[in-house]
Amino acid sequence: MMLFTQAMGLPVITADEAEPLGRVEALTIDARSRSIACLRLSGAPKHATAVAWNAVEAVGRDAVIVRSRTAADPGQSGFPVHREALGHRILTEHGAAHGTVKDIAFDPATGEVRTLYTAFGDIPGDRLLGLGSYAVVVGA
């Protein structure tokens, strides 16, 4: 497992030429599949601003390796709109508050969201139902 907070700021480099593409600025979650859809990059002036998760070869403690310059413009590639989950409130499907998201654990091989960590306790990733600008919604 890896945490979102551990992935933030990691350099993103290509496997074929070891070319730096930027750093992980954010991870965009696709709530339908309960997995990471793409990496949002910062510091990538000559490259696109996002890399699809299926282009990721490996995520380690020191870097993220992608197959090649398989980066795409998030506005045109079908990536979900980025909604920040960290720090946002959590509501159950019945509207009950469950604190805020402190961190998120994901499988670095598949991008699957495994656990949402809150001050009120851990929530399994398979309970994730939605992610919007107001809240993260989870099944009760």
Task: Summarize pLDDT for 7-34 with one digit per residue, the tens.
Answer: 999 999 988 888 888 999 999 999 999 9
Mean pLDDT confidence for 59-87 = 78
pLDDT above 50: residue 72: no
Structure token pair of residue 87:
């720090």
pLDDT above 60: residue 115: yes
21 within domain boundaries: yes
In this prediction, what percent of the chain has a pLDDT beyond 70?
89
Q: In CATH, what number is assigned to the domain containing residue 18?
A: 2.30.30.240
pLDDT above 70: residue 69: no
83 within domain boundaries: no
For residues 111 and 62, membership in a common domain is answered with no
Q: Which domain holds residue 16?
A: 2-72
Mean pLDDT confidence for 73-84 = 70
For residues 29 and 61, membership in a common domain is answered with yes
Secondary structure in 3-state letters for 92-139:
ECCCCEEEEEEEEEECCCCCEEEEEEECCEEEEHHHEEEECCCCEEEC
Close Cβ partners of 124 (under 8 Å, ≥ 6 residues apart): 114, 115
Q: 4-8 contacts: CB < 8 A, separation 24 or more?
A: 4/85, 4/86, 4/103, 4/104, 4/106, 5/86, 5/103, 6/61, 7/59, 7/64
Mean pLDDT confidence for 74-92 = 82
8 within domain boundaries: yes
Q: For tokens 């599949």, what's the residue?
A: 33
